[in-house]
Structure 1
């Protein structure tokens, strides 16, 4: 079974929806990882800011960071070999590695009409 591990640079979150600007590439990666994980595939992500031990424990990652610095992040390892550095995998790459249809990895489309929810006050104090 294919094993994919992504080593992210230090970030506050892995979804791309924090802060004032949403990063669509990061959102697509988060959706693909979530989808693959839910289907039982062996995929993991580590964030340098919250999981530094994972970067130290993996000799390949540690050596690459020592040689090339944090510019090599994000770093993707597939079956123990460096597959990609400096950018996130695409949906096409995930699909090829895990032998799934690319459409299975797309973010879920949200409804075009926003919900209008009103919360009634009970008036009790």
Structure 2
């Protein structure tokens, strides 16, 4: 059975990571994968500390992490209600294991046209 996955992002101006001149490829990877999984009916939720602070307060494990380590510990990943790890995003292998999917099913298409922001 597929797991419920929650990703607690640090304070971001947007979830895609394309908000400035320095694009974070890890954020764009997670953003594309998140959208694909949600579109396919999987329970994967992302929370942005800047825009949705309530889940950071109400989830006991994440709240304790923030009190102990501060916001630099984010991102934090919760699987089926339990804090799985923090300070990084899940790998394709972890998503594959949690959701019972083959890694190839998780692959997202790279955009055909790349935008040069410089």
TM range (shorter): 0.7 to 0.9
CA distance in 2, matches of 1:99, 1:47: 26
| TM-score calculated relative to the size of structure 1 | 0.83
Q: Structure 1 stretches (4+) deviating beyond 2 angstroms?
A: 103-107, 109-114
3-state DSSP of counterpart to 2:12:
coil
Residues 1:95 and 2:66 are matched in the alignment: no
Q: What is the aligned-residue RMSD (CA, Å)?
A: 1.7
Residues 1:109 and 2:110 are matched in the alignment: yes
**1:29·1:90 contact (CA, 8 Å) conserved in 2?**
no
Unmatched segments (≥5 aa) in structure 2: none
Distance change >3 Å, CA 26–CA 64, structure 1 → 2 = same
Larger radius of gyration: 1
Question: Map of 1:8-87 to 2, 5 A cutoff?
Answer: 8-87=9-88
| TM-score calculated relative to the size of structure 2 | 0.88
Unmatched segments (≥5 aa) in structure 1: 115-125
Moved more, 54-63 or 104-113: 104-113
CA distance in 1, matches of 2:114, 2:42: 34
3-state DSSP of counterpart to 1:95:
helix
